[in-house]
Amino acid sequence: MTVRDIMPGDIGACLEIYNHYIENTVFTLELEPLSFEDFSARVGEISRRFPYLVCEAEGVIAGYAYLSLFRPRAGYRFTRDLAIYVRHDLRHTGAGRLLMEELISRASADSDVRDIIATITTENTVSIAFHEKMGFRMAGRLEGVAEKFGKRLGVVFMQRTLK
Protein backbone atom coordinates (compact mmCIF):
# COMPACT_ATOMS: atom_id res chain seq x y z
CA MET A 1 0.00 0.00 0.00
CA THR A 2 1.18 3.48 -0.82
CA VAL A 3 -0.06 6.88 0.29
CA ARG A 4 0.13 9.80 -2.11
CA ASP A 5 -1.54 13.08 -2.98
CA ILE A 6 -4.89 12.77 -4.70
CA MET A 7 -4.97 13.09 -8.49
CA PRO A 8 -7.95 13.92 -10.70
CA GLY A 9 -8.27 10.26 -11.75
CA ASP A 10 -8.84 9.24 -8.10
CA ILE A 11 -11.92 11.37 -7.54
CA GLY A 12 -14.46 8.82 -8.82
CA ALA A 13 -13.13 6.08 -6.52
CA CYS A 14 -13.11 8.44 -3.52
CA LEU A 15 -16.66 9.53 -4.32
CA GLU A 16 -17.76 5.89 -4.42
CA ILE A 17 -16.22 5.35 -0.97
CA TYR A 18 -17.90 8.44 0.46
CA ASN A 19 -21.31 7.81 -1.09
CA HIS A 20 -21.30 4.31 0.42
CA TYR A 21 -20.96 5.86 3.87
CA ILE A 22 -23.65 8.45 3.12
CA GLU A 23 -26.16 5.84 1.96
CA ASN A 24 -25.41 3.06 4.44
CA THR A 25 -24.06 4.46 7.69
CA VAL A 26 -24.37 7.20 10.28
CA PHE A 27 -20.61 7.78 10.08
CA THR A 28 -21.13 10.86 7.92
CA LEU A 29 -24.08 13.12 8.51
CA GLU A 30 -24.72 13.95 4.87
CA LEU A 31 -28.09 12.61 3.80
CA GLU A 32 -27.91 12.56 0.00
CA PRO A 33 -25.19 11.04 -2.22
CA LEU A 34 -22.96 13.60 -3.88
CA SER A 35 -22.57 14.06 -7.61
CA PHE A 36 -19.16 13.75 -9.23
CA GLU A 37 -19.17 17.49 -9.93
CA ASP A 38 -19.95 18.46 -6.32
CA PHE A 39 -17.40 16.06 -4.85
CA SER A 40 -14.75 17.11 -7.37
CA ALA A 41 -15.32 20.78 -6.47
CA ARG A 42 -14.86 19.97 -2.77
CA VAL A 43 -11.65 18.08 -3.46
CA GLY A 44 -10.33 20.96 -5.55
CA GLU A 45 -11.15 23.58 -2.95
CA ILE A 46 -9.58 21.64 -0.07
CA SER A 47 -6.53 20.31 -1.92
CA ARG A 48 -5.48 23.79 -3.03
CA ARG A 49 -4.60 24.63 0.59
CA PHE A 50 -4.35 21.39 2.55
CA PRO A 51 -3.12 17.79 2.23
CA TYR A 52 -5.62 15.52 0.49
CA LEU A 53 -4.30 11.96 0.32
CA VAL A 54 -5.27 8.58 -1.06
CA CYS A 55 -4.07 5.13 -0.10
CA GLU A 56 -3.63 2.86 -3.09
CA ALA A 57 -3.35 -0.92 -2.90
CA GLU A 58 -2.61 -2.80 -6.11
CA GLY A 59 -4.22 -0.14 -8.26
CA VAL A 60 -7.31 0.21 -6.06
CA ILE A 61 -8.04 3.28 -3.95
CA ALA A 62 -8.41 1.80 -0.46
CA GLY A 63 -9.19 5.10 1.23
CA TYR A 64 -8.65 8.80 1.40
CA ALA A 65 -8.05 11.44 4.05
CA TYR A 66 -7.59 15.18 4.23
CA LEU A 67 -7.14 18.13 6.51
CA SER A 68 -9.15 21.32 6.20
CA LEU A 69 -10.01 24.36 8.30
CA PHE A 70 -11.62 23.43 11.60
CA ARG A 71 -13.71 26.62 11.59
CA PRO A 72 -13.53 29.65 9.26
CA ARG A 73 -12.85 32.32 11.89
CA ALA A 74 -9.23 33.53 12.09
CA GLY A 75 -8.84 32.54 15.72
CA TYR A 76 -8.94 28.87 14.64
CA ARG A 77 -6.16 29.31 12.06
CA PHE A 78 -3.81 26.83 13.78
CA THR A 79 -6.42 24.06 14.05
CA ARG A 80 -7.33 21.57 11.32
CA ASP A 81 -10.31 19.33 10.81
CA LEU A 82 -9.56 15.73 9.86
CA ALA A 83 -11.63 13.48 7.60
CA ILE A 84 -10.67 9.89 6.83
CA TYR A 85 -12.61 7.24 4.91
CA VAL A 86 -11.56 3.70 4.06
CA ARG A 87 -13.40 1.56 1.53
CA HIS A 88 -15.91 -0.47 3.53
CA ASP A 89 -14.59 -3.79 2.21
CA LEU A 90 -10.96 -2.82 2.90
CA ARG A 91 -11.32 -1.69 6.52
CA HIS A 92 -8.81 -3.19 8.98
CA THR A 93 -6.15 -3.58 6.27
CA GLY A 94 -3.87 -0.79 7.51
CA ALA A 95 -4.99 1.80 4.96
CA GLY A 96 -6.44 4.10 7.62
CA ARG A 97 -3.29 3.90 9.73
CA LEU A 98 -1.09 4.76 6.73
CA LEU A 99 -3.28 7.71 5.79
CA MET A 100 -3.39 8.99 9.37
CA GLU A 101 0.37 8.66 9.86
CA GLU A 102 1.08 10.63 6.69
CA LEU A 103 -1.42 13.38 7.56
CA ILE A 104 0.03 13.71 11.06
CA SER A 105 3.54 13.84 9.62
CA ARG A 106 2.61 16.59 7.18
CA ALA A 107 0.70 18.55 9.82
CA SER A 108 3.61 18.25 12.25
CA ALA A 109 5.96 19.71 9.63
CA ASP A 110 3.62 22.68 9.06
CA SER A 111 4.29 25.54 11.48
CA ASP A 112 0.70 26.70 11.03
CA VAL A 113 -0.82 23.54 12.53
CA ARG A 114 -1.01 23.02 16.28
CA ASP A 115 -4.07 20.80 16.69
CA ILE A 116 -6.10 18.34 14.64
CA ILE A 117 -9.78 17.74 15.43
CA ALA A 118 -11.89 14.79 14.29
CA THR A 119 -15.67 14.92 14.68
CA ILE A 120 -17.07 11.39 14.94
CA THR A 121 -20.61 10.15 15.51
CA THR A 122 -20.94 8.39 18.85
CA GLU A 123 -22.11 5.22 17.10
CA ASN A 124 -18.83 4.94 15.20
CA THR A 125 -17.02 3.25 18.08
CA VAL A 126 -14.43 1.66 15.79
CA SER A 127 -13.36 5.10 14.55
CA ILE A 128 -13.23 6.47 18.10
CA ALA A 129 -10.97 3.59 19.17
CA PHE A 130 -8.80 4.06 16.07
CA HIS A 131 -8.32 7.76 16.78
CA GLU A 132 -7.40 7.00 20.39
CA LYS A 133 -4.83 4.47 19.16
CA MET A 134 -3.41 7.17 16.86
CA GLY A 135 -2.84 9.59 19.75
CA PHE A 136 -6.11 11.51 19.81
CA ARG A 137 -7.94 12.16 23.07
CA MET A 138 -11.62 12.71 23.74
CA ALA A 139 -12.10 16.48 23.91
CA GLY A 140 -15.89 16.80 23.97
CA ARG A 141 -19.23 15.14 23.42
CA LEU A 142 -22.56 16.48 22.19
CA GLU A 143 -25.67 14.33 22.60
CA GLY A 144 -28.52 14.17 20.07
CA VAL A 145 -27.33 17.08 17.92
CA ALA A 146 -27.80 15.30 14.59
CA GLU A 147 -30.35 13.06 12.94
CA LYS A 148 -30.04 10.48 10.19
CA PHE A 149 -32.21 7.51 9.21
CA GLY A 150 -34.79 8.71 11.77
CA LYS A 151 -32.31 8.35 14.62
CA ARG A 152 -30.91 11.08 16.87
CA LEU A 153 -27.14 10.97 17.03
CA GLY A 154 -24.39 12.41 19.14
CA VAL A 155 -20.89 13.40 18.14
CA VAL A 156 -17.54 13.36 19.87
CA PHE A 157 -14.62 15.65 19.25
CA MET A 158 -11.25 13.90 19.25
CA GLN A 159 -8.16 16.11 19.47
CA ARG A 160 -4.49 15.58 18.80
CA THR A 161 -2.15 18.38 19.82
CA LEU A 162 1.02 18.53 17.74
CA LYS A 163 2.92 21.45 19.26
* pLDDT tens column, 17-39: 999 999 999 999 999 999 999 99
pTM over cut 0.85: yes
Between CA 104 and CA 15 the distance in angstroms is: 23
| Helix intervals (H) in 110-158 | 125-133
Give tens-digit pLDDT for 123-135: 999 999 999 999 9
Q: What is the pLDDT averaged over residues 107-135?
A: 97
The set of residues, in sequence order, having a beta carbon less than 8 Å from that of 50 and lying 6+ positions away, is 66, 67, 68, 69, 80
% of the chain residues with pLDDT over 90: 99
| Helix intervals (H) in the chain | 11-24, 36-47, 95-109, 125-133
Nearest Cα residue to 57 out of 104, 10, 20, 119: 10
pLDDT of amino acid 91: 93
Angle 54-138-151 (CA atoms, 0-180°, nearest 5)?
80
Per DSSP bridges, beta strands 79-86 and 115-121 are: parallel
Which amino acid would we find at residue 28? T
